[in-house]
Amino acid sequence: MDFDQLTLTQAVADLRAGKVTSTALTTEALARAKANADLNAFVTLDEAGALKAAAAFDANDNKDKPLGGVPIVIKDNIEVTGLPCSAGTPALKHYVPRADAPVVAKLRAAGAVIIGKTSMHELAFGISGYNTAFKTGAEFGVRNAYDRTLIAGGSSSGTGVAIGARIVAGGLGTDTGGSVRVPAALNGCASLRPTVGRYPQAGIAPISHTRDTAGPMAATAADVELLDRVIAGGKAVQAADLKQMRIGIVRSMLTNLDADTDAAFQAAVAKMKAQGVTMVEIEMPQLAEFNGQVSFPVALYEAYDDLVAYLDHTGTGLSIEALARDISSADVKGTYDGLVIPRKLPAPDGALVDAKPIYDAAINSARPALQVLYSRTFADNRLDAIAFPTTPRVAIASNPDSSSLENFGLFIQNTDPGSNAGIPGIQIPIALGAVSKLPIGLELDGPAGSDRRLLALGMALEKVFGRLPAPPRS
């Protein structure tokens, strides 16, 4: 078996056919995780628990579960029974949940074997994955599967890297403004940010109840569809007929692109047109304006109350102030000490002002306006989706500077607006950069509730683009 080419769907088929055992797949995944410790992909590797679960599957005659015997990973802000759930921050490193988060319970009931908890940007507040709280390699920061000197993206860094590096073929992340799509794009895998509310959010360390959602990440869009079906229910999705698809391109989402990303995106558009997709150039006036009024005001204000409630749920007795005192990563520490804890937001002149009125305006006025802008854009242009480069640039150097506010804004430039509107978005790999040889991703955002149609579109397009080659062996 070529583990570098393995997908979740192939693994399920091979396990059912008796071509491979869960123990063999799980042993190989664990070996690869340990051999790639320099990636800093894992906070916890559960070798004993995973092998026990694999052996139990192999001993059972009932082999028809949707994910039966397949090794996967879970981001370390999603609760898994008996494993620490740190949310990437020191204060929670000894918190061990007594129950699975509902999304994890669905995967486990479907037969998945959880090999460990993946590292992340601390408290999910960033896009680089440069976390100084945890490491298994010599350097800090979750490292890119294709180049150890570069960022993995965030905040679901470790899950993206574990899939990109061919340790496992699937797992779970969470997404507030781009956190399953950015690391998937930078590590050459697929992911779905579902419509907000499609997945249960209990048992997940939060940022914002308005914006947060768990999301599946996997080797292919077909694998993402399998994970989504297990979590959300429904029948299997079939690949879309591309000749029936209308996809919009928003000019403002094509700014700040590096040469590799620009070339790869234009080539992808040409390939879509050649397959009969109708491509429509559109404008979304006020997109940046509305998004700016929603984005940070909602995340930074809700982070306080939502984290207080979560800490109460953990039973650790931790206060949010005590947790904040122990934050390790400088960028996240500054965010909590300067904005989240005092409940302030920066005004245009740089002064700090009370966050509540700005938050209220975001929730009551700007966010509904953003949602109307999206719904009208889809309806008026009869679009199935809007397409854009998931990130404007390929992965950058991994160091403290990679977590700058400038880089944060740059890398969520295209993923953030749809997040704030609560609509679904699927990321699929399209190419390795001509010069950089690094993964480049394409995102497709659709109307609220169109998750399955987006997955069908992603499944059709990945047949056009193909899967990226595995990273070079280090």
Q: Please identify every residue annotated as catalytic.
A: 75, 155, 179
Q: CA 91, CA 332: separation in Å to the nearest integer?
A: 14
Q: Choose among 190, 192, 178: nearest CA to 253.
A: 178
Q: Is 209 helix (H, G, I), strand (E, B) or coil?
A: coil
What are the beta bridge partners of residue 204? 78
Q: What is the DSSP string of 282-302?
A: E--TTHHHHHHHHHHHHHHHH
Would you give the end-to-end CA distance of the chain in angstroms?
21
What token pair was written down for 168?
């496992």
Q: CA 199, CA 7: separation in Å to the nearest integer?
A: 23
129, with CB counted inside 10 A (0-12, 13-18, 19+), is: buried
Which residue has 């080419």 as its token pair? 5
64, with CB counted inside 10 A (0-12, 13-18, 19+), is: exposed
- Are 256 and 410 in contact, with CB atoms under 8 Å apart? yes
Q: CA 223, CA 191: separation in Å to the nearest integer?
A: 9
* Angle of helix 47-59 versus helix 22-35 axis, rounded to 10: 160
User: In sequence order, what E strands does 239-351 have?
Assistant: 246-250, 278-282, 344-346
- Are 416 and 178 in contact, with CB atoms under 8 Å apart? yes
Which residue has 């990945």 as its token pair? 462
- Are 192 and 237 in contact, with CB atoms under 8 Å apart? no
Q: CA 89, CA 19: separation in Å to the nearest integer?
A: 41
What are the beta bridge partners of residue 236? none
**What radius of gyration, in Å, describes the C-alpha atoms of the chain?**
21
**Which amino acid does the sequence have at 181?**
R
DSSP state of 72: E
State the DSSP H helix or E strand holding residue 115, giving kind and residue range, or none if neither.
strand 113-118
- Are 193 and 215 in contact, with CB atoms under 8 Å apart? yes
For the chain, the farthest-separated pair of C-alpha atoms sits apart, in whole angstroms, at 67
What are the beta bridge partners of residue 280? 248
